[in-house]
Chain A
Amino acid sequence: AQKVTQAQTEISVVEKEDVTLDCVYETRDTTYYLFWYKQPPSGELVFLIRRNSFDEQNEISGRYSWNFQKSTSSFNFTITASQVVDSAVYFCALSEAQGNKLVFGAGTILRVKS
């Protein structure tokens, strides 16, 4: 069965620090999709990125970057020069092509202090 582990329950950093959120996944499918979502204090979940299992290229979007490594079943998320507005809960999620069910990790609470 598919599973997502976010071992970091909570991380606190000071503004402008870089921070990496870890995500490790388990699946038996060869075709699957990985996601990151952000849940700010307002509560609504916001999509950040989607990656399929055949695309291991790292991605950068502004201060955000993602490192996908199939060899270690990891899909880590780095925020460079963090800002207070980055404070949120971040969820990693996995969907297998066969089951079509998006399963979320437990989430990592990120607190960025000024």
Chain B
Amino acid sequence: DAGVIQSPRHEVTEMGQEVTLRCKPISGHNSLFWYRQTMMRGLELLIYFNNNVPIDDSGMPEDRFSAKMPNASFSTLKIQPSEPRDSAVYFCASSLGQGGVEKLFFGSGTQLSVL
């Protein structure tokens, strides 16, 4: 079975540009998470969906960040406009059941560099 699929693997963009990160969770999983990893702040939960509904977006840094899950097999994380401080690895993860109490399956991540 395919795992969590993220695209692109690497993204280099200039400050001010819009960036869209994509995620396909494991089929049948009903929880999806977006995490950001930086050296300074470690792994931070940005937003969590359950059955395609955003449950907790308290980790979204500011209005420049938005996430959607239009259906059970696809989610996007958008940054508009991007800034150099957004440079990080962004991970998508999915799980069966509700929330972070179950085992999470992570994608390979998207390495974002904002110049």
Contact = CB atoms under 8 A, between A and B. Distances in A.
Interface in A68-114: 91, 95, 97, 99-107
A33 B107 CA distance: 22
Interface residues of B, number: 22
B91 A100 contact: no
A95 B43 contact: no
A44 interface: yes
A104 B101 contact: no
Contacts of A50: 102-103
Contacts of B105: 47
A100 B101 contact: yes
A38 to B, nearest CB: 11
A60 B41 CA distance: 31
A100 B108 contact: no
B99 interface: yes
A95 B109 contact: no
A91 B43 contact: yes
B108 A102 contact: no
Output the residue of B56, B104, B105, B108 with the most chain A CB within 10 A.
B104
Interface in A42-56: 42-47, 50
A4 to B, nearest CB: 10
Interface of A: 33, 35, 37, 42-47, 50, 91, 95, 97, 99-107
Interface of B: 33, 42-43, 45, 48, 55-56, 89, 91, 93, 98-109
